[in-house]
Amino acid sequence: MASAPAARRVDRSLRLLGGLVLAVCSLTAAFSAAASGTDAERARFRQAYAAAQQGGDGWRAQATGLEGYVLFPYLEAASLEHDLRTLDRGPVDAYLARYPGLIPAADLRKDYLGELARRKDWATFSAMYQPGLGDALTCFALQAKLSRGEPLVFERDLADLWKKASLPNACDPVLSAAHDQGLLTPERVWTRIQTAADAGKGGTVAALAPWLPADDAIVAQRIAQALNDPATALRDAANWPDTPRHRQAVTLALQRMARKQSTIADGAWSSLSSHFTLSEQQRGAIENALALFHATDFDESALDRLAALPPGAQTDATREWRVRVALARQDWTAALAALDALGESQKQDGEWRYFRALVLGKLGRQGEAKALYQSVSQEATYFGFLAADRIDSAYAICPSTMATDERREAALLADPGLDRAFELYAVGLQKQGRREWTAALAGRDADTQRLAADLAFRKGWYDRAVFGLSSGDALRLYEQRFPLARQDGVVEQASQAGIEAPWAYAIIRAESAWMTDARSGADARGLMQLLPGTASLVAKRNGLTWSGGDSLYDPATNIVLGTRYLSQMAERYNGAPWLASAAYNAGPNKVDQWLTARGTLDPDLFVVSIPYKETREYVARVMAFAVIYDWRLTGNALPISTRMTRIGSTYALPSSGALRKPVTCPAPAAAVARSGRDTAPAAPAALQPAPAAASSAPASPDAQP
């Protein structure tokens, strides 16, 4: 992804004079071309920033002339951060005094406080400390207090920390001191154990147990064991006494075991249910877990278990899974009964309205089915598109545009925080840019936030538009929310990889929302969220250059490799985009397991039976996004059912003459514009949008973070 030339800052003297005309002229110029010197400033900043990250003062020579540049404070902060281990207080204080209120100053204070705590320089720490900087620094401040021989006071010093299920290691000496002072009474320890148990934090429970009297410590360790090692806990539970806290432990162990191995949990429940006098609530929680995880395993007993759950043991999850299991069995009578048993709010969800229509049709109630399909088809969602295909109607997409407001745009561009945010994006420091963005827009009204998101879109900072236009009428801003960004080569690379461009676009949108520097907890990187190991294999297989994991943050590289990997997944599943999408999310081995178990189902029934919520919703989102991107590229769309081929059949790429569906905007009373899980009111009139390939999204050169 690239960035259009970012707008120059409006001269402060003009803002003070209220020069509206000149401000508007400045705004117009900002989007057409960068003013003289801006590109040079950014280039120089990048060089100086790279030097500053090495520490010392070498960066200053390269930063000559940048003293007035909005990002100049980031240079010195980078140098100081590098040198934290050797810094005296003076340079830090000087920086904080020069740049109060800036994000890098706040970061420097926190990081230097952490360094002072490492040194155990508690006097300097206390002089620089400010409250509200996080649990770790709070506990370091308490360590400083202890170093001065000051006693702790529970209500003043520990009460807020004590309410948390887990705490950083910095709190361990403080809690030990509190224990030694006699502040951690058994009642207080049990209170926090309960908090931790409710949050599933077995480690916290185990750490607290030794601070209880001997008998209590034993049962606390059993609660920890129930959370951490439920199989062992259940084997031992037959020898536990029937006390309230042991009942809690066995309830937790059975719930945990049900998630891991429902059949083993069944056996344990059968032998232990008569040993413990469990409350109705505890029995319900156990029966709920057993029924739910038998359902996700699609066991033979699952449907009966779910239907037999007492009302108090039912949840939205068990009610939904009762429908899913019945649909997977194609037991239409049971499916209708399960749909009838859903909660009232669940019944209004497009997913269950669609499947109610399907079930009614299977039961011969065609008139009711058609009316319900018609209702669902008014929504621009996966289920809305499926419903439209069922009744052969047009897709309901109601696009909108944002009114321009040059005066407010000029004011936004002149905002120092947004100025820094846009400049940070322009120089490739997107993470820092997003922080400045969030701080600058905190507390702003919805119209201002949407205007800022539209400005970001026009500058090529697409993820800010996607996240900033995510509610209400803004959901109809399809150009901004589903950017094409053709300069990154999606269309060309998809074609070379032998897949459809709308599908590739949909994967990018679902994976990263166009955040080029995205990185997951599993180390998936960039627009298409590729793991370095996977990307390396894809590059080798396709004879492509591989420059290491960081190259995945380059949009062009990411798209080249991502489209090839998508092609591999498609090839594995006879070209089917929907199955390849499931494999892209959950892994092909899991998809193969599901196909072995339920591979005779129609695609919509197979998707609804996917055990992983994330993958179910991912497939639905990608398939809906592919329809929207198809429309964005061509002005109409292939039917969603075309891409959702029956399992085992071959999907062929559409020819130039492939049948496409028209896209219209329904009447306001019926239309709801939604994309994936998004919702918004309808446009006021029927619209036939023009092809959106001529997107106004500007090209930009600086995408890599």
Question: Which residue reads 């006098």 in tokens?
Answer: 277
Give yes or no for a contact between 489 and 556, defined as CB atoms under 8 angstroms apart: yes
The angle at the Cα of 433, spanning 536 to 480, to the nearest 5 degrees, equals 80
Give yes or no for a contact between 81 and 108, defined as CB atoms under 8 angstroms apart: yes
What is the distance between the alpha carbons of residues 226 and 247, in angstroms, rounded to a whole number? 11
Give yes or no for a contact between 603 and 646, defined as CB atoms under 8 angstroms apart: yes
Nearest Cα neighbor of 582 from 536, 560, 605, 614 is 614
Contacts of 156 (CB under 8 A, 6+ apart): none
The per-residue b/e assignment along 424-441, b for 16 or more CB within 10 angstroms, e otherwise, is bbbbbbbebbbbbbebbb
Query: How distant is the alpha carbon of residue 462 from its chain centre?
Result: 16
H-type alpha helices, 261-330:
262-272, 280-296, 302-308, 316-329
What is the distance between the alpha carbons of residues 500 and 625, in angstroms, rounded to a whole number? 13
Give yes or no for a contact between 431 and 406, defined as CB atoms under 8 angstroms apart: no
Nearest Cα neighbor of 434 from 506, 507, 513, 489 is 513
Nearest Cα neighbor of 277 from 245, 250, 239, 247 is 247
Contacts of 13 (CB under 8 A, 6+ apart): none
Count the Cβ atoms, other than its own, within 10 Å of residue 593.
13
What is the distance between the alpha carbons of residues 623 and 581, in angstroms, rounded to a whole number? 9
Task: Name the amino acid, one letter, at 178.
Answer: A
Catalytic residue numbers?
Answer: 511
Q: CB-based burial of residue 443 (10 Å sphere; 0-12 exposed, 13-18 middle, 19+ buried)?
A: exposed
Q: Which helix (H) or strand (E) holds 511?
A: helix 501-512
Polymer length in residues for the chain: 705
